[in-house]
Amino acid sequence: MTPADALTARAIDILGHLVSFDTTSRGSNLALIDWVETWLKGHGVASRRITNPAGDKSNLLASVGPAVAGGVVLSGHTDVVPVDGQPWTSDPFTLTERDGKLYGRGAADMKGFIALALAAVPDFAAVKRPVHLALSYDEETGCFGAPDMIAVIARDLPPPALVVVGEPSGMAPVSGHKGAAFFRVVVTGREAHSSQPHLGVSANMAAAELIAALSALAAELDAAADPASPFEPKGSTLTIGRIDGGTAANILARRCEIVFDLRCAPGQRALDLLDGFRAQVADLDARLKARDPDASAVFEVIADVPPMAPEADGAAEAFVRGLTGDNSPMRVVPFAAEGGQFQGAGFSTVICGPGFIEQAHQPDEYVEVEQMRRGAVFMLRLAEALAD
């Protein structure tokens, strides 16, 4: 058995353990963190928790090798998206191999990468520059966990040379990603019989004005897309993900909630693009209050994840291209990740991990065994590079 085959087998075994923990973002990830801490301790590696305020979720930070500058951060999120209502053909929390594919929630996004990093810990024993393992929580709901951990890395660790975020990319380097910002508008009216609309305020009717404004803005953003953009779709995209309002056809709706997202390429800020819409919300709020003092329209920011910009002569991209042997044109992706947060803290950052985003968030999510093997080769080459 070759070293790559042995590391692949170890990683698949670890992946089975990681998948078995239901770390859907709405719940806790502490059972998985406990397991990883124990595993690392068994290999002589200390780790540090950076918890959320409630104490029911945690990041985990561990360093393998000497406490010197120039190390590499391997970053992965431990949370996964829900499986509710999805037609899985096997237990989503039991890793199942069929036809060279490993099925399980998070297998591609992104417990496969975490499993590879953990499996490679024994291979990192001889490194002269450290490998820092950075595992986060709540990436899927808005990248809420990583910032506190990134602050600890910047403050307490010898400066790393670069960060590899292991989102699924087919083990090919990705230079940039779009941002993702999520927003909520809550319109509050006053209930009345639908035959007497003059006695109340319909939140749904008022919200329809804002829904139309968002649809118009989405069309404007599409029309303004730069044809030379490396992203696909080319420009910023806006979609309304949820509309919830009213109780019955013959009752004026007391409340209507609109949740939407805005995906921006590097160089754009979601809140800037929403300046006009936010003014419309404020104008609607004033008009509603003029009809009823308890009526309102309120704009809220749920999350605002920054994009990651391709770096000119980026150290991270060059390093990963050297390990993978990839000489393809620059790649960017439309989904958001923690890469922009690391980059914003001053770290040269690249995305590279096993699997493909098309397989993530789906029923029967999987990562190919061959992708895990390519990841194992990557980890072995990383160990060699840091041992020089």
DSSP per-residue codes, 283-339: HHHHHHHHH-TT-EEEEEEEEEEPPBPPPTT-HHHHHHHHHHT--PPP-EESS--TH
Residues 118 and 37 in one domain: yes
Over residues 170-189, mean pLDDT? 97
What are the backbone angles phi and psi of residue 180, rounded to the nearest 5°?
-140, 120
Classify residue 100 as left (phi > 0), alpha (psi -120 to 50) or beta: left
Tens-digit pLDDT profile for residues 28-57:
999 999 999 999 999 999 999 999 999 999
Active-site residue identified among 138, 139, 167, 338: 139
Over residues 349-355, mean pLDDT? 98
The pLDDT of residue 1 is 86
Tens-digit pLDDT profile for residues 113-140:
999 999 999 999 899 999 999 999 999 9
Residues 135 and 238 in one domain: no
Q: Which two tokens stand for residue 265?
A: 């390429």
In whole angstroms, give the CA distance from residue 18 to residue 38.
13
Is the alpha carbon torsion for 147, 148, 152, 153 positive or negative? negative
Say if strands 162-165 and 237-245 run parallel, antiparallel, or are unpaired: unpaired
Residues 74 and 217 in one domain: no
Residues 262 and 331 in one domain: no
**Which H or E run contains 147?**
helix 146-156
The secondary structure of residue 139, as a DSSP letter, is -
Residues 34 and 127 in one domain: yes
How many domains does the chain contain in total?
Answer: 2
Residues 361 and 336 in one domain: yes
The pLDDT of residue 138 is 97
Residues 92 and 191 in one domain: no
Is 384 marked active-site? no
The pLDDT of residue 388 is 86
Residues 370 and 296 in one domain: no
Residues 173 and 235 in one domain: no
The mean pLDDT of the chain is: 97
What are the residues facing 255 on neighbouring strands?
188
How many beta carbons lie within 10 A of that of residue 341, not counting itself? Answer: 25
Find the CATH number of the domain harbouring 326.
Answer: 3.40.630.10
Query: How much is the pTM?
Result: 0.94
**Inter-residue contact 357 to 333 (CB < 8 Å):** yes
Tens-digit pLDDT profile for residues 289-337:
999 999 999 999 999 999 999 998 999 999 999 999 999 999 999 999 9
Find the CATH number of the domain harbouring 283.
Answer: 3.30.70.360
Over residues 159-185, mean pLDDT? 97
Residues spanned by the domain of 217: 180-305
**Nearest CA to 39 among 66, 70, 67, 18?**
18
Residues 27 and 75 in one domain: yes
Over residues 339-345, mean pLDDT? 97
Domain end marker among 275, 305, 335: 305
What are the residues facing 134 on neighbouring strands?
61, 75
Domain end marker among 285, 305, 325: 305
Domain end marker among 253, 275, 305: 305
Active-site residue identified among 37, 79, 365, 368: 79
Percent of the chain predicted with pLDDT > 90:
98
Residues 243 and 368 in one domain: no
Is 139 marked active-site? yes
Residues 320 and 347 in one domain: yes
